[in-house]
Amino acid sequence: MQDRPTASELLDAVAGFIEQDVAALLDARLRFHARVSVNVLRTLQRELALAPSQLARQRELLAGLLGRDAEVAELWVELATAIRQGEFDDRQEQLVPVLREVTAQKLAIANPGYTSSVH
Amino acid sequence: MKPAPSDDHDLAERLRSYLSERHGQPVEVTRLSRLPGGASRETWAFDAILAGTTLPLILRRDPPGRPSARDCANEAQLLQAAMRAGVPVPTARWGESTGEPLGAPFIVMERVEGETIPRRILREETLAAARDNLVGQCGTALAHIHAAPLDRLDFLGAPQSPQQLVETQLSMLASLGEPHPVFELALRWLRSRLPSSREPALVHGDFRVGNLIVGREGLRAVLDWELAHVGDPAEDLGWFCVRAWRFGNDGRPAGGMGTREELVEAYVAAGGTPPAPGDLRFWEVYGTLRWGIMCILQASFHLSGATRSVELAAIGRRACEMEWALLDLIEGRG
């Protein structure tokens, strides 16, 4: 256990510094990169908060689909390979809801709001 | 070969000397400034003053040491072919395939004034009237691109079939070596729905809101012909409708401004052949997948150390947007 600030609070401090102090000093091109950097730090804050529960859920979902348990990174590779080899061509109704859920998890970290926009 | 110009002043001097030589009389170069954007090619604006007349110009130059996909002299030929076909494009003035005059291959074209930033094109109050015309004008421009004669464009190579394009994406994804189950699913989906063969046409290859110049009255120029090739013209229609190019206006598939029907209607009215049922969706899925794989590729340029950039690094985390959009398309939404 580390002392406060927590990892997320430190990321927030750096993001605030870039946003409030640094960005104003930059030209348009660098200001754009500063904005991207702040977005990256916000992404990391969300990842710190969400990743542990997401990874457990991904393991459960992918293992269920593949019929075998392993480290979650290994299951991702196995699923991608199985789909490429056509092993899920006849199991789309099982596959697609799982892909929805794990993709929504990635978006909850990378770009929350993307899944809720209207079509 | 001389080294690439180290600063703006050196580049201005080399431009002046090149243009003076081409004109056979002294040309002055003023107000040279680098424009933002242009990951694959640098973009510079400048004025050339010849015999008392000021000519607003654009220089597009390959990043020194990193040649782009399209030979600059060929790109000038493409712009000329597009212009003859009735497509609004900047007039190409000079193009060089070697690095001799300016340190890297380049093309100089006349500067077209107007807006190029997608979010402004889609939201700026002063462009409201332009937006009313834009989807129709894009449909018309695409029809004219696809009707352009191919006889002077041999450098584009043989037509690429939908199957070849899909296989190229598959090997690209495989070479990147990261697990993306949704992209794998999209590849299976595409392989089982290949469009039947069409008369090959000139395909722009990157026709989207970010590659247009727009004025108050609407479309002024179609830019960035680096990815042009010969193939199924419906590829351009699908790419224009990819969700990433709607910039938040998700309910308006055609470039964030209109419906697919409006786009196709204008396209057909200008002589384009309507895509067969299902083909537009095929090319939207293909385009969404292609941009998703490009996101991974761009992040890999950063990760390999080839081009260190926080912007490229961050793009890697956008691939999941394309995954979500692909699931929407595959399930018949989007």
Range of the structural domain that residue A34 is part of: 7-112
Question: Who contacts A112 (Cβ-Cβ below 8 Å, separation ≥6)?
Answer: A46
Which chain B residues touch A88 with a CB distance below 8 Å?
185, 188
Q: State mean pLDDT over B31-51.
A: 86
Contact flag B334-A36 (C-beta cutoff 8 Å): no
Which chain B residues touch A103 with a CB distance below 8 Å?
182, 320, 323-324, 327
Contact flag A40-B251 (C-beta cutoff 8 Å): no
| pLDDT given at position B39 | 61
Across the interface, which of A32, A80, A119 has its CB nearest the CB of B181?
A80
Domain check: are B168 and B148 in the same one? Answer: no
**Tens digits of residue pLDDT in B325-334:** 999 999 988 7
**Tens digits of residue pLDDT in B145-178:** 999 999 999 999 999 999 999 999 999 999 999 9
String of DSSP letters for chain A: -PPSSPHHHHHHHHHHHIIIIIGGGS-HHHHHHHHHHHHHHHHHHHHHHHHHHHHHHHHHHHHHHHT----HHHHHHHHHHHHHTTTTTT-HHHHHHHHHHHHHHHHHHH-TTGGGS--
Contact flag B321-A110 (C-beta cutoff 8 Å): yes
Note whether residue A2 is domain-resident.
Answer: no
Distance CA B228, CA B206 (A): 8
Domain check: are B146 and B42 in the same one? Answer: no
Q: What is the value of ipTM here, to two decimals?
A: 0.96
* Residue A83 contacts B, CB cutoff 8 Å: yes
Note whether residue A118 is domain-resident.
Answer: no
Domain check: are B137 and B102 in the same one? Answer: no
Mutation target vs A (from B178, B298, B324; most A CBs, 10 A cutoff):
B324
Domain check: are B30 and B95 in the same one? Answer: yes
Confidence of residue B3 (pLDDT cuts 50, 70, 90): very low
Which residues of chain A have a pLDDT value below 70? 117-119
Domain check: are B67 and B170 in the same one? Answer: no
**Tens digits of residue pLDDT in B94-120:** 888 888 889 889 999 999 999 999 999
Note whether residue B224 is domain-resident.
Answer: yes
For residues A26 and A34, the answer to whether their CB atoms sit within 8 Å is yes
**pLDDT > 70: percent of chain B:** 96
For residues B84 and B92, the answer to whether their CB atoms sit within 8 Å is no
**Chain B closest CA to A61's CA: distance in Å?**
13
Domain boundary at B49, B84, B110, which? B110
Domain check: are B149 and B248 in the same one? Answer: yes
Note whether residue A119 is domain-resident.
Answer: no
String of DSSP letters for B11-78: HHHHHHHHHHHHHTS-EEEEEEEEES--SSSEEEEEEEEETTEEEEEEEEEPPTT---SS-HHHHHHH
Domain count, chain B: 3
Confidence of residue B244 (pLDDT cuts 50, 70, 90): very high
Which chain B residues touch A107 with a CB distance below 8 Å?
320-321, 324
Q: State mean pLDDT over B52-56.
A: 94
Note whether residue B3 is domain-resident.
Answer: no
Domain check: are B86 and B39 in the same one? Answer: yes
Domain check: are B30 and B74 in the same one? Answer: yes
* Residue A88 contacts B, CB cutoff 8 Å: yes
Range of the structural domain that residue B57 is part of: 8-110
Contact flag B330-A83 (C-beta cutoff 8 Å): no
Which amino acid belongs to residue B252? R
Domain check: are B123 and B144 in the same one? Answer: yes
**Tens digits of residue pLDDT in B114-148:** 999 999 999 999 999 999 999 999 999 999 999 99
Contact flag B321-A107 (C-beta cutoff 8 Å): yes
CB atoms within 10 A of CB B207: 26
Note whether residue B42 is domain-resident.
Answer: yes
